[in-house]
A and B are shown apart, each in its own frame.
Chain A
Amino acid sequence: MPWMSPLARIRDALAGQRARDKDLRNLVSNLPYEGLDKWKQPNRHFRNNGIKTTKYSVLFFIPMNLFEQFHRLANLYFVGLAILNFVPVVQAFEPEVALIPICVILALTAIKDAWEDFRRYKSDKKLNRLPCFVYSSKEKCFVEKRWKDVRVGDFVKVESNDIVPADLLLLYTSDPNGVCHIETANLDGETNLKQRRAVPGVCITVSNTDILLIIHAVIRTGCLGFSHPDLVLKQHLVYLKGGCTVRNTGYAVGFVVYAGHETKAMLNNNGPRYKRSRLERRLNIDVIFCILLLFTMCIIGSLGHYLWLESMPSVPLYLVPQTDGHLDTPSLSSFYKFFSMIILLQVLIPISLYVSIELVKIGQIYFITNDLDLYDEETDATIQCKALNITEDLGQIQYIFSDKTGTLTENKMVFRRCSIMGREYPHKENECVRRALKMYIYKIKILMFTKSLPPNQQETEVILDQKLLRQIRGTEKIDAYQDFFLALAICNTVVVSMATAKRLRSNPLDTLSSLVRRAGSWTRLRAPITSETSANDLTTQGQSVNQTGGQTCSLHVPPQGTAPAVPAGKLCYEAESPDEAALVHTAKAYGFVLMSRTPDSVTVQLPSGAQLRFEVLDTLSFDSNRKRMSVLVRHPISKQCILYTKGADYAIMELLETPYGEKQQKAIASDTQQHLDCYAKEGLRTLCIAKKVLCDGEYESWAVQRQHALAAMDNREQLIMDSAVQIETNLCLLGATGVEDRLQDSVPDTVMTLREAGIQVWVLTGDKPETAVNIGYACRLLEQDDLVINMSCKSKVRSLISNSQRKFPLYPEVRRYSEDPRNVDTTPDISLVIDGRTLTMLMSPDLRDRFVDLARHCRSVLCCRVTPLQKSEVVKLIREKLKVMTLAVGDGANDVNMIQAADIGVGISGQEGMQAVMASDFAISRFKHLKKLLLVHGHWCYSRLANMIIYFFYKNAANVNLLFWYQFFCGFTANAMIDHWLMIFFNLLFTSVPPIMFGIMDKDVSAEMLLGLPELYRTGQGKGEYSFFTFWISMLDAFYQSLVAFFIPYFTYRGSDIDIYAFGTPLNTISLFTILLHLSIEIKAWTIVHVFIILGSVTLYFIVTLAYGVRYLNYSGYWTLQAQMVDPMFYLVCLISTVIALLPRYLFHVLKNSITCSPIVEARHLDTLEPSTRDQWIKEWRSFRGRVQDKTSDVSASPPSELKPTQSSSELNIRLGLVLFCHI
């Protein structure tokens, strides 16, 4: 590097700072400057592409890590104590001994941090070393470089299936249309392909073969200037985000704009979320109690010391004066002793508890993630725990909020029925054949012991309805039928890819942070692909050539004889939503094959074999407000502007044109509506298809407005939506489709079990009420006997109601109904069905309390047509008003709000990408896994952790109190009768592992029982095992035990010639035995590990103490334990003290187990039975309970069950309707 004055350096650095901070980035290509040293580089101010996510460097690890750790209050407390101990007047230990606990805790945490950082370092290194191609002007070609060497201003070539190394401005692609397909699964989890177009200006000027030219073109034009905000970039230029993958495109060339840490992917990469569990919150309150207790004890000690000094007639020999030979006054001395006491009794505040809890949670998560029952073979995914510290909350859930599509259902859509121009085509055969196929596959699975059948096969097959087929075949002209299927084929965002270029998709489920995921998936991706790339390239190239061939004559119908370039069977559709895929497959089955889609055009093959290339004028994409999407195309033959719209039935029905006198249209609409209702009752998802023909003038005036909206800087979203709403009017109804979304495996069973476990299940869905209610019955959320309250109202009422201060009169009625003692047996459970508009109304401030009250009385609640925001609002409302633990489970982007709002968010990795999973705390692959996750793991984690924490408090108090009692006999001088090293070891070595093991491995009831008797889950709900009461009981027990452990030896050795450490040794031993045997009483299931660890702790105690007694001559307790162990009195004292100390707790457990019959105890009794008898018992018990339920329904003398819900619901419907309407 040439010499530069420091001033120049500073000036340059400041200039760099300015350049980085500016919104407008002026970038210059690096090519002319290649080979020059760093100071001449124009883009030197911008970061290069090397990433570094590590927090520490090797050199500064220790200071940085310490700095980080001292941000924690607990550590500061500990350090404060240790420092305090260096002050001679308050010293309670040898100063160096007091440093040990804090050093151990800091060291443990530092090791953990170092390990995590090292993993980050390794993954960074892997990323930085990935190869990519950068253009070099010297070599006149793309040379391979590492990722970290890519700089802003470089030209980078990304080949198919490679990952984009940095944020690129897309300049050129090998595709003749300048299109590049990308997959953003690594960034946002969306697995469908997206299209990006190269910067148009550049693309046109160069020939297709020589990409060097474009580079030179750019160099000639000088700078590429554009402003920083994302917004503008999206409009004018297209860029590829670093981290996404190029698919289906030979290669793409881009200009690096943002690199390394400035890329969007890195900026959006937040660390893991930190949630505090409810147990931990309560634990902190108890820690405060402990602090109060500690202060009380220290004040007692300090006062005692004062009185002790005051009571002395004069200065005795044993009082040691200060260095200068005079004694402190009693008050000053007792003031010092207060701090000495804090140092001595510091263990009462269980700082090590936090470390232990973290270890326990790691262990618990290990077991959860390793559970085979939570493993899904089809996707090869295990459960993923993203939030590491809320495992015990799983055992306390009271409300579950579930999404419907993809969560309760498979989200694998099967086209079932359709209605075209008011005629219904039921596709009966479809149903039968599919069943048969399913059976067949099932049999094969059993025979082969494998599940390797392609999962999509059965879904994409559509068995044609013969009648409909005849209708289509019968006519050649473009009639409504053709229009219907064209709409199915065109009106979507499905991207066509070749079956041969089938993507090898990494499984994003199995890693934690997005970074590690990126690294992981790349390594897995790269290996298998390299061998295939060349072949793929050939096919894609060939395909593109064919397409260009098609384009040249795309403005007219190609001759009939031309065979399609690619056999239709090989097409592979990449859809954003499974509904779209199902519809496109249906269209294909009826001969309307979607051949290709580019941003400008859609090519559809007709049943006749002819290919039509529609020019796409605009795509009005789906949003949850409009609930519809449209595609505006120009018909290649008629040159008409046609708008195809597809959307929710109510969204479409409102927009139909109402031509006066045209009876036929009206009839079609009403017939279709009837069919739709019928579909919904069957539980099908309904969509309406409509079209509209625009005249050119109309289109042009709209297009101007549209351009305006697209170019707007502020309020752009709203303007774009408004422009869409503007054109989507006066539609002409073509028909409707019914798509089935089957329930996932054992969903009804899971829902039933969860409800038996005392969990209220709410379903929040965007579907229409009829569909939702139907699914509700299917998954046993609603029972046939339930009283279903259906709340819906017209939107006009809304403002009136929310303004009125009138009470919500339904609620007292329901309460009276449910609380009437006569109705106890006969009351069917109440269920609530609410639609989105009513929900908005109910959420208003004046009604929400009553709504919550009402909802609390309902066994299940179904909210339909709710928006994502409403979902999270409902969750928040219930969580805050009822102070309950909530869990939200969902699979799609629309559930993210809800997942984040709930105490625990569970994501289901399904068909709709990974957004939900990324936002979630736990990611599962099937809804049924929730059952074991909550009932078994949740229960275990909660009961384990709760008991562990209680035990930990007890353990520390029991041990420390011995020292406190001793103060009464040593003049409150904060002396200990146990050697300080052994005291430290006692907590660090002898009694630390057993509680951790207890917290990880204890099992109060077996998994089979927990699943068989879901009622057991209720023990954890609400207060659960860890409450104020249990905490103080265990603290009292600790006081009692320490009293016994102190005073039995005291009375035994009173007046004898025993010395301090000889007295302390039996105390310490008794304390160890009581603490470990106390745990042994608490341990519910003994395995070999438990035995090993408990015995190991005892052995360790004796070995260490004995060895310590031999090793150090100047240790005051030299040879003490050895001397004690040859004295029979030692054993006798230990024996009786331990027995007396544990007797109350032992009796308490015995009596609790014998007299009271808590469900847990009963279940434990059952657990000891033979597995077969036990299963028999559970079965009988369940059937017995089932009978009881049947009986209640008999008593209520219900009419045939199918009628009843409708009857009661309609009855209440009317009532509610009256209430609402009388306010108008």
Chain B
Amino acid sequence: MQKKENQEVENRPDNTAFTQQRLPAWQPILSAGIVIPLFVLVGLAFIGIGVALFVTSRNLHVLEVWKNNLLWLNMALYVFFSPQGPVFFYYGLTNYFQNQRAYGVSKDYNQLSGDLDYFTFFFSIVPDSTCKPYRYDVNNKPIVPCGSLANSMFNDTFNLYQMKNGVKEEVPLDGKGISWWTDYNIKYRNPSVNPLRNAFNGTVKPLYWSKPAYELDPTDTANNGFINQDFLVWMRRSALPNFRKLYRRITDGLPAGNYSLEISYNYPVIAFDGKKKVAFSNVSWMGGKNEFLGIAYLVIGSLCLVMSVVMLIIYAKFKFPEED
């Protein structure tokens, strides 16, 4: 009998909150009354953030110099701000599309991480075929570092002089710490061969380079070869076609005054209708000078406050008639 009763209800569904879709639920209804405090809060918070951003950005200074004249190899600058902290020295390019896919993949990571196996010609397996056509030179010697990205490295150099009473005094530029820490310390490695140039035996330098990779910075072995920081900065592809890249840091700041900038002009930009520029800027917690975000926060914050007033009106007018 017991068994039979069990049989009779064997198909009965479980009576649980889940199967019966009775889980305790919170059913928020977005209506005017509820969102007023939300809008006020968001509005106030955004205005606060906006003000902070705006004020910070106002305290930052940036000096941009466009080099649209080829003949300017020697520029006089007047710096009329004396910012706090270190000043960053950038070079910039416009209309330069580092963000194409074919361009971006045109490199061999194994080479760049110092794996010697990838330096030499090996039955057209190495270097990576993505490097084509900057893989071998006309004599079928492998190019190291191979690929379009490395090949097109920016090679202008800059010297900055402060004019003190008519005397040129070179401003010390710090080329360290301008690349990502991980790039310099983990991702890119030189082959562990000493001296470094031996590793490059049987290879040729990239087509457009004036000197091979092991001579990028002959003065400092920690800044030579693939871990040369200028090289690293270039290899980190910029997201947008108008970009600037960090060139040097001026650790001691840039006091106001007259300066002279010497440029060794190597990099061609006419082919893509581009322009070069140099920029000096100091930075804060929010990075370089950027007014857009602060204004955006202020606008949206005020919009929220306005909305809350509108909602108040709507709430008064269309209150849910519960008496019905």
B30 lies within 8 A of A316 (CB): no
* Cβ-based interface call for B224 (8 A): no
Most A CB contacts (10 A, CB to CB) among B9, B102, B271, B307 go to B102
Does B23 reach chain A (CB closer than 8 Å)? yes
**Which listed residue (A315, A507, A977, A1167) contacts B239, Cβ 8 A?**
A977
Q: Does A1054 lie within 8 Å of B242, measured CB to CB? A: yes
- Within the complex, the shortest CB–CB distance from B104 to chain A, in Å, comes to 7
The smallest beta-carbon distance between B252 and chain A, in angstroms, is 22
The B-contacting residues of A in range 258-316, CB under 8 angstroms, are 311-316
In the complex, the answer to whether A1048 meets B99 with C-beta atoms within 8 Å is no
Residue among B12, B49, B245, B274 with the most chain A CB within 10 A? B12
Report Cα–Cα, A1219/B33, bound state, in Å.
63
Asked if B286 lies at the interface with its beta carbon under 8 angstroms from chain A, I say: yes
B-facing residues in A374-419 (Cβ within 8 Å): 375, 377, 380-382
Which residues of chain B from 207 to 240 have a CB within 8 Å of any chain A CB?
A: 208, 236-240
> A974, B29: Cβ atoms under 8 Å?
no
With most chain A CB atoms within 10 A of its CB, the pick from B42, B53, B240, B271 is B240
User: Is B239 in contact with A973, judged by CB distance below 8 angstroms?
Assistant: no
- Structural contact, A1136 and B297, CB atoms closer than 8 A: yes
* Distance, CA A1064 to CA B99, complexed state (A): 12
Q: Is B290 an interface residue (CB 8 A)?
A: yes
Query: Is B26 interfacial (CB-CB < 8 Å)?
Result: yes
Q: Is A971's CB under 8 angstroms from B97's CB? A: yes
**Please, how many angstroms separate the alpha-carbon atoms of A988 and B33 in the complex?**
38
Q: Complex: how many Å from CA A371 to CA B113? A: 62
Q: A1197 to nearest B CB, angstroms? A: 30
Q: Is A606 an interface position by the 8 A CB rule?
A: no
B96 within 8 A of A: yes
Please tell me which one of the listed residues B29, B106, B273 contacts residue A312 in the complex, with CB atoms under 8 A apart. B273
Binary contact readout B305-324 vs A (1 if CB under 8 angstroms, 0 otherwise): 00100010011001010100
Asked if A547 is at the interface of the complex by the 8 Å CB criterion, the answer is no
Encode B19-57 as 1/0 by CB contact (under 8 A) with A: 111011111111111010000001000100100010000
Say which size band chain A's interface belongs to.
35 or more
Tell me the smallest distance from the CB of A594 to a CB of chain B, in Å: 30
Closest A residue by C-beta to B236: A1059
Which residues 1110-1134 in A have Cβ within 8 Å of B in the complex?
1113-1114, 1116, 1118-1119, 1123, 1127-1129, 1132-1133
Binds A, one of B156-164, B166-174, B180-188: B180-188
Check if A1150 sits within 8 Å of B30, measured CB to CB: yes
CB distance from B101 to the nearest CB of A (A): 4
B69 contacts partner chain A, Cβ-Cβ < 8 Å: no
> Which of chain B's residues have a CB closer than 8 A to the CB of A325?
133
Q: For chain B residues 85-116, which have a beta carbon within 8 Å of chain A?
A: 90, 92, 96-104, 106, 109-110, 113
Proximity bits, A516-527, B CB within 8 Å = 1, else 0: 000000000000
Check if B241 sits within 8 Å of A1113, measured CB to CB: no
B99 & A977 in contact (Cβ 8 Å cutoff) = yes
Q: Which residue of B lies closest to A1133 (CB)?
A: B293
Task: Establish whether residues A320 and B148, one from each chain, have CB atoms under 8 Å apart when the complex forms.
Answer: yes
Q: Is B285 an interface residue (CB 8 A)?
A: yes
Closest A residue by C-beta to B274: A316
Interchain nearest-CB distance for B16 vs A (Å):
9
> Contact: B25 with A1086, CB < 8 Å?
yes
Residues of A within 8 Å of B103, CB to CB, are 318-320
Known: A318-B96, A1057-B243. A1088 touches B101 (CB 8 A): no
Give bound CA distance, A1114 to B106, whole Å: 13
- Determine if B246 is an interface residue (Cβ-Cβ < 8 Å): yes
Cβ-based interface call for B270 (8 A): yes
Establish whether residues B180 and A1123, one from each chain, have CB atoms under 8 Å apart when the complex forms.
Answer: yes
Please tell me which one of the listed residues B21, B49, B182, B208 contacts residue A317 in the complex, with CB atoms under 8 A apart.
B208
User: Is the CB of A471 closer than 8 A to any CB of chain B?
Assistant: no
In the bound complex, CA of A1146 to CA of B38 (Å): 12
Contact A1150 B311 (CB under 8 A): yes
**Are A380 and B12 in contact (CB-based, < 8 A)?**
yes
The answer for the CA separation of A1143 and B26 in the assembled complex, in Å, is: 22
- With a cutoff of 8 Å between Cβ atoms, the chain B residues found around residue A977 in the complex are 99, 239
Alpha-carbon distance between A1050 and B110 when the two chains are bound, in angstroms: 32
A1132, B293: Cβ atoms under 8 Å?
A: yes
Nearest A residue (CB) for B132: A323
Asked if A1085 and B101 sit within 8 Å, CB to CB, the answer is: no
Report A568 CB to chain B, min CB distance, Å.
27
With A320-B103, A452-B5 given, is the CB distance from A1150 to B297 under 8 Å?
no
Q: In the complex the two chains form, is B272's CB within 8 Å of A313's CB?
A: yes
Q: Are A1057 and B246 in contact (CB under 8 A)?
A: yes
Q: Does A805 contact B (CB under 8 A)?
A: no
Proximity bits, A88-131, B CB within 8 Å = 1, else 0: 00011000000000000000000000000000000000000000
A-contacting residues, B62-104, CB 8 Å? 90, 92, 96-104
Residues of chain A contacted by B243 (CB below 8 angstroms): 1055-1058
Q: Give the residue among B42, B99, B109, B290 with the most A Cβ atoms within 10 A.
A: B99
CB distance from A811 to the nearest CB of B (A): 39
Min CB gap B295→A, angstroms: 10
Q: Does A560 contact B (CB under 8 A)?
A: no
Asked if A1113 contacts B109 (CB within 8 A), the reply is yes
B17 to chain A, nearest CB (A): 9
A contacts with B: majority SS: loop
Contact of A1168 with B by CB under 8 A: yes
Residue B268 at the chain A interface, CB threshold 8 Å: yes
Closest residue on chain A to residue B14 by CB atoms: A370
- In the assembled complex, the CB of B244 is this many whole angstroms from the nearest CB of chain A, namely 5
Chain A residue numbers with a CB within 8 Å of B285 are: 1128
CA distance A1118 to B274 in the complex (A): 30
Q: How far is the CA of A1132 from the CA of B23 in the complex (A)?
A: 36
Residue of A nearest to B109 (CB): A1114
Please tell me if A574 contacts chain B, counting CB pairs below 8 Å: no
Interface centre among A977, A1058, A1062 (most CB of B within 10 A): A1058
A372 touches B13 (CB 8 A): yes
Chain A nearest CB: distance from B321 CB in Å?
Answer: 8
The answer on a CB contact under 8 Å between B300 and A1060 is no
A879 part of interface (Cβ distance < 8 Å): no
Establish whether residues A372 and B27, one from each chain, have CB atoms under 8 Å apart when the complex forms. no
Q: Are A1060 and B238 in contact (CB under 8 A)?
A: yes
A319 to B102, CA, bound (A): 8
Tell me, yes or no, whether B265 is within 8 Å of chain A by CB. no
B300: chain A residues at CB < 8 Å are 1136, 1139-1140, 1143
How far is it, in angstroms, between the C-alpha of A369 and the C-alpha of B31 when the chains are bound? 35
- Which of A246-254, A1151-1159, A1207-1215 contacts its partner? A1151-1159
Asked whether B238 lies within 8 Å of A1057 as measured between CB atoms, the reply is: yes
- Is A322's beta carbon under 8 Å from chain B? yes
**A1154 CA to B243 CA in the complex, in Å?**
47
Determine if B302 is an interface residue (Cβ-Cβ < 8 Å): no
Contact B12–A372 (Cβ < 8 Å): yes
- B29 and A1132 form a contact (CB under 8 A): no
CB-CB under 8 A from A1088, the residues of chain B are: 23-24
Q: Are A1054 and B240 in contact (CB under 8 A)?
A: yes
Q: Which of A316, A319, A1062, A1123 has the most CB of B within 10 A?
A: A316
With the chains together, A630 CA to B147 CA distance in Å?
Answer: 96
Which residues of A sit under 8 angstroms from B290, Cβ to Cβ? 1052, 1056
Chain B residues with Cβ under 8 A from A1048's Cβ? 296
Q: Is the CB of A1155 within 8 A of B318?
A: yes
Shortest distance from the beta carbon of B52 to any chain A beta carbon, whole Å: 10
Write the residues of chain B forming the contact surface with A, with a CB cutoff of 8 angstroms. Answer: 5, 7-15, 19-21, 23-33, 35, 42, 46, 49, 53, 90, 92, 96-104, 106, 109-110, 113, 132-133, 148, 151-152, 180, 182, 186-187, 208, 236-246, 268, 270-274, 285-288, 290, 292-293, 296-297, 300, 307, 311, 314-315, 318, 320, 322
Closest 3 interchain pairs by CB?
Answer: A1063-B239, A316-B272, A1085-B25
- 10 other A-B residue contacts (CB within 8 Å) besides A312-B271, A1003-B25, A1143-B300: A320-B148, A370-B13, A970-B100, A977-B99, A1057-B90, A1059-B236, A1129-B286, A1151-B32, A1153-B29, A1154-B320
A-B contact pairs, 6 of them (CB 8 A): A970-B99, A1052-B292, A1060-B238, A1063-B239, A1086-B26, A1150-B311
